[in-house]
């Protein structure tokens, strides 16, 4: 169960404290090296990028563009023009360069043409620091990152992990940004990390934490005429990247046309929660707002309805990759599971909206497992009875759900 402290992590005040911590962070070129990474291994993490700290909320739930990117990465239609430009990238990157700056120039030139963006080096807020790859969206007087990346001339050259360095550069450019409006925002951004002719694509946001995740495997930028599937995978990923960057640019233009600074307080910050704020039933579409997380490390939330029959109603929203909805509905009819209000597919996820049972109405394994022996026996008996009900309905229980 979540603590009061964990709920506070979803507020504007906590967001401000996390960006302030970036002032003491090492430079990205130092932070990406094992010696520096080991220093902060056991500390409260500056970022959650799976090295080693995992995010509570995946970036595909913070912004739908990243989930659509993953879908397009597997299904995008590749044109002849796309193929020609991808082959051009391969021909440029498979070369051996004496200096990293030469590889950077070649990549900037290709990316600017293919992505239809001004791609170049990105200055970081601190003096004499810059990311090797950057592109921004301009909205009035504000500048928002669309793309941040790092380039190593070859694998093993230059020291450190290109992915971690890209993560650190993103953290710097957002956490130390001169604009308090930027620092308060979600700032969805694609990450690129290039080591010699090997390219990876990731994503980053400032959600509850600075959160980054790889979105692709590492692609070899090599012309492999005998492996057309590998070449097609690379082409689809780059088409998906181009589409995703266009989506992010539209997002910034639409959201920040009339943006304003919010005075830091203990008010909940919407961008610290998943982007989904409505569900659909047979009766129509209904909005909701997040109240708090329910379980640490899982995308499970208490929400409050904002319209129609669900106005002011407390509900539970669960995000999952797979779900046995037939089994859940059967259990609900047997009064051994909460009622399901909605079962919706969103990009990359399934969202289940269900009845909320207050703490006074049920006993959980979280509390009973540490309670008196007689309470554990009661819980075990309830579990055995529920399994019998499921078997009677033709369902088999596995560790992670219904089959």
- What pLDDT sits at residue 130? 96
- What pLDDT sits at residue 264? 77
- What pLDDT sits at residue 145? 98
Beta-strand runs (E) in 105-197: 120-123, 130-139, 142-152, 189-195
Provide long-range contacts, Cβ within 8 A and 24+ apart, for 153-159.
153/97, 153/99, 153/100, 153/103, 153/196, 154/195, 154/196, 155/195, 155/196, 155/198, 157/100, 157/196, 158/100, 159/29, 159/32, 159/33
Asked if 122 contacts 134 with a C-beta cutoff of 8 angstroms, the reply is: yes
The domain segmentation of the chain, as residue ranges, is 4-255, 276-402
What fold characterizes domain 276-402?
Phosphorylase Kinase; domain 1 (3.30.200)
Ordered alpha helix ranges (H), 220-335:
228-255, 325-333
Beta pairing, strands 219-220 & 210-214? unpaired
Dist CA 169 CA 124 (whole Å): 7
Q: Tokens representing 350?
A: 């399934």
Q: Tokens representing 324?
A: 């046995």
Nearest to 295 by CA among 45, 57, 47: 57
Q: Tokens representing 247?
A: 């989506």
Q: Which residues pair with 302 in a beta bridge?
A: 292, 316
Dist CA 385 CA 139 (whole Å): 59
Asked if 306 contacts 288 with a C-beta cutoff of 8 angstroms, the reply is: yes
| DSSP characters over 184-240 | HS---EEEEEEESSEEEEEEEEESSSEEEEE-S-PEE-S--TT-HHHHHHHHHHHHH
Report DSSP state, residue 99. S
- What pLDDT sits at residue 271? 95
- What pLDDT sits at residue 365? 60
Dist CA 177 CA 188 (whole Å): 15
Beta pairing, strands 142-152 & 189-195? parallel
- What pLDDT sits at residue 402? 43
Would you give the distance in Å from CA 180 to the centre of its chain? 22
- What pLDDT sits at residue 359? 64
Q: Tokens representing 207?
A: 């959600």
Per-residue pLDDT of the chain (403 residues; tens, 9 = 90+): 567 777 888 999 999 999 999 998 999 999 999 988 888 777 788 999 999 899 999 999 999 999 999 999 999 999 999 999 999 999 999 999 999 999 999 999 999 999 999 999 999 998 789 999 999 999 999 999 999 999 999 998 888 999 999 999 999 999 999 999 999 999 999 999 999 999 999 999 999 999 999 999 999 999 988 998 999 999 999 999 999 999 999 999 999 987 777 777 778 999 999 999 999 999 999 999 999 998 878 899 999 999 999 999 999 999 999 999 999 999 999 988 899 999 999 999 999 999 998 765 655 665 666 666 666 777 778 888 888 998 898 887 765 444 3
Beta pairing, strands 142-152 & 130-139? antiparallel
Dist CA 338 CA 321 (whole Å): 20
- What pLDDT sits at residue 167? 98
Nearest to 158 by CA among 124, 137, 132, 120: 132
Secondary structure (3-state) at 270: helix
Dist CA 191 CA 213 (whole Å): 9
């Amino acid at each position: 169960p979540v603590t009061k402290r964990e709920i506070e992590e979803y507020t504007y005040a906590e967001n401000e404290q996390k960006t302030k911590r970036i002032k003491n962070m090492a430079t990205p070129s130092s932070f990406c090296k094992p010696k520096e990474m080991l220093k902060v291994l056991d500390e409260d993490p500056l970022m959650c990028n799976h090295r080693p700290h995992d995010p509570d909320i995946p970036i595909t739930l913070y912004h739908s563009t990243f989930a659509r990117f993953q879908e397009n990465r597997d299904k995008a239609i590749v044109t002849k023009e796309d193929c020609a430009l991808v082959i051009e990238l391969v021909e440029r990157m498979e070369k051996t360069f004496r200096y990293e700056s030469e590889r950077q120039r070649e990549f900037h030139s290709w990316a600017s043409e293919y992505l239809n963006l001004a791609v170049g080096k990105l200055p970081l807020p601190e003096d004499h620091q810059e990311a090797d790859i950057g592109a921004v969206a301009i909205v009035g007087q504000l500048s928002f990152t669309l793309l941040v990346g790092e380039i190593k001339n070859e694998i093993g050259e230059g020291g450190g992990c290109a992915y971690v360095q890209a993560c650190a550069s993103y953290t710097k450019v957002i956490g130390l940004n001169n604009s308090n409006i930027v620092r308060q925002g979600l700032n969805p951004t694609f990450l690129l990390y290039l080591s010699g002719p090997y390219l990876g694509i990731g994503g980053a946001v400032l959600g509850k934490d600075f959160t980054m995740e790889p979105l692709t495997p590492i692609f070899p930028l090599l012309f492999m005429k005998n492996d057309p599937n590998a070449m097609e995978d690379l082409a689809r990923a780059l088409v998906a990247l181009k589409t995703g960057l266009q989506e992010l640019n539209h997002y910034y233009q639409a959201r920040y046309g009339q943006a304003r600074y919010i005075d830091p307080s203990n008010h909940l910050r919407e961008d610290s929660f998943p982007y989904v704020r409505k569900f659909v039933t047979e009766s129509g579409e209904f909005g909701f707002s997040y109240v708090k997380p329910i379980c640490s490390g899982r995308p499970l939330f208490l929400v409050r309805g904002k319209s129609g029959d669900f106005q002011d109603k407390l509900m539970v929203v669960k995000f999952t990759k797979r779900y046995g909805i037939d089994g859940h509905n059967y259990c609900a009819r047997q009064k051994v599971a909460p009622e399901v209000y909605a079962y919706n597919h969103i990009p990359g996820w399934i969202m289940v909206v269900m009845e909320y049972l207050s703490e006074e109405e049920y006993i959980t394994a979280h509390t009973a497992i540490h309670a008196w022996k007689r309470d554990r026996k009661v819980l075990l008996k309830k579990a055995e009875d529920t399994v019998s009900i499921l078997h009677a309905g033709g369902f088999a229980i596995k560790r992670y759900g219904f089959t």
